[in-house]
A and B are shown apart, each in its own frame.
Chain A
């Protein structure tokens, strides 16, 4: 080991490198492996159940892919969420931000890694759909609008999970907020009539529903934009601000 007397010009780690590291961190712990396995099992189980008990219209490439996607999209955002909150719950923030003091870059890397994971998950669902359809022998037609819609949906929920994690910085409250709050809002807006209209703008579940079905019409996009601004834009911005000034120990 040689000690250098004068600082050599070391380049900062590139964003692709940081993204690779974040992807690695999502998969190299026991908890990480468990979670991903659980998600995979959920997806496969959904396909399996459909093959056994589903209707004919479900047992097609489109149908099986869709059901697998729904199952996976349920838990996948937790991976993104924990990727952020885990830094605090597991106290690795100290290491992470000593190695890369540019905290914004770290968050960008986590976002990109999460998106990469989401798209990979989508591909896997497609593969599962293909495999299932080989067994079911159903129709091979795939609604492209639905495919793109599903991709966007996966990305949105993943980033939403990450954003909630960044805002709250602790695993348990973040998970509760991510799952319970939307459900609570949904229930509230269902029962209170006057809120039903506005709900289409701030209920992310409602705003993204047409995406998954591939039935987005012109009027749906502004609603989607507002809902994502609320559920992603705001937590992300606030979370980044908090992170910038936060003390790490």
Chain B
């Protein structure tokens, strides 16, 4: 259980996180999405007690993270897999965590095996690890205390396809056993496959949240024209925000009626005009968070 209430973080005159509120119930996976720089990492750090909020509260299992006597036994955190001493071996990293948490060190080799770091890899120093190996070690660290809550930032980063599938299974399994997962990722397809609920943040504020199914049932229109640029410009000028798809069609967050009328008014012929079938998480995300400048 994670409860975030009006969480705010200001740096001087800049507001990185602005009144963010949401809950993550046990037994669910919550996908936390947002463009780069939207305040995702800052929010996660505040929930994990690494950054002090300017105002608002964040509670995990009913208490602020810093007040948990032995947080690792209840909350597993993976925010930055590269934050490890390069001169330490993978096995040693996990042993230290086990020691701090008071977990039997015999759990270490079996956990390393489970995350895909066999003995010869575990014996290597972290400085020699690939991105994927560091990620796996980070996940092991989050799991070593046998927590009931997981807070993960880009856990699939650097993993190969088999690892990505494994992660998916791990998270679903975790939630199915009444665990709580808060997971931030740019891999929207993965989020779509594993999350129950979504929280979308843009410019420090929540722009959408709720059950995945309901959010994805939103509509919009898919339209195609011989001259996509003219259509794009025309729709944009009419105040509708079109998105260019990879296949040359445009997705517009408006009814087919509206789009048809605008096109007709501009004398633009259309080759295709239909209601978008949900369009998937990517469409939803980009519509909610469309920014002008590249991040």
Question: How many interface residues does A have (CB within 8 Å)?
Answer: 40
**Which chain B residues (166-199) contact chain A, with CB distance < 8 Å?**
174, 177-179
Q: Which residue of A lies closest to B151 (CB)?
A: A98
**Pair A12/B69 contact, Cβ less than 8 Å:** yes
Please judge, given known A-B contacts A1-B146, A95-B84, whether A10 and B74 are in contact too, CB under 8 Å.
yes
* B174 contact set on A, CB distance < 8 A: 1, 3
**Which chain A residues (201-216) contact chain B, with CB distance < 8 Å?**
none
Please judge, given known A-B contacts A24-B99, A249-B80, whether A98 and B49 are in contact too, CB under 8 Å.
yes
Give the size category of B's interface with A: 35 or more
Cβ 8 A contact of A91, one of B41, B68, B83: B83
* A245 contact set on B, CB distance < 8 A: 52
* B141 contact set on A, CB distance < 8 A: 95
- Say whether A234 faces chain B, with CB atoms less than 8 Å apart: no
CB of B154, distance to nearest CB on chain A (Å): 14
**Pair A1/B85 contact, Cβ less than 8 Å:** no
**Pair B84/A13 contact, Cβ less than 8 Å:** no
**Pair B73/A5 contact, Cβ less than 8 Å:** no
* A94 contact set on B, CB distance < 8 A: 50, 79-80, 83
* B36 contact set on A, CB distance < 8 A: none
Q: Bound state CA distance, A95 and B62, in angstroms?
A: 22
**Pair A99/B45 contact, Cβ less than 8 Å:** no
**Pair B177/A3 contact, Cβ less than 8 Å:** yes
**Which chain A residues (7-49) contact chain B, with CB distance < 8 Å?**
7-13, 17-18, 20-21, 24-25, 28-32
The interface bits of chain B over 62-106 (1 if a CB of A lies within 8 angstroms of the residue's CB, else 0) are: 100111111111100101101111111100110011011110000
Q: Which residue of B lies closest to A98 (CB)?
A: B77
Q: Bound state CA distance, A191 and B105, in angstroms?
A: 58
Q: Bound state CA distance, A101 and B70, in angstroms?
A: 9
Q: Which secondary structure dominates where chain A touches chain B? A: loop
Please judge, given known A-B contacts A24-B99, A97-B50, whether A86 and B61 are in contact too, CB under 8 Å.
no
CB of B125, distance to nearest CB on chain A (Å): 7
* A8 contact set on B, CB distance < 8 A: 73
**Which chain A residues (163-186) contact chain B, with CB distance < 8 Å?**
none
**Pair A98/B72 contact, Cβ less than 8 Å:** yes
**Pair B45/A25 contact, Cβ less than 8 Å:** no
- Say whether A190 faces chain B, with CB atoms less than 8 Å apart: no
Cβ 8 A contact of A101, one of B66, B73, B83, B147: B66
> Can you offer 19 A-B residue contacts whose CB atoms are under 8 A?
A1-B143, A1-B174, A3-B177, A5-B178, A24-B99, A29-B88, A30-B87, A86-B85, A90-B84, A91-B82, A91-B84, A94-B83, A95-B141, A98-B49, A101-B49, A245-B52, A247-B50, A249-B45, A249-B80
Given A5-B148, A7-B148, A95-B83, 20 more pairs with CB closer than 8 A: A3-B148, A3-B177, A3-B179, A4-B146, A4-B148, A8-B73, A9-B69, A10-B68, A10-B102, A11-B70, A13-B101, A17-B102, A24-B96, A28-B89, A30-B125, A98-B49, A99-B71, A99-B72, A101-B67, A101-B71
9 smallest CB-CB distances across A and B, nearest first, come from A12-B69, A29-B87, A3-B179, A101-B66, A91-B83, A30-B87, A3-B177, A10-B70, A94-B83
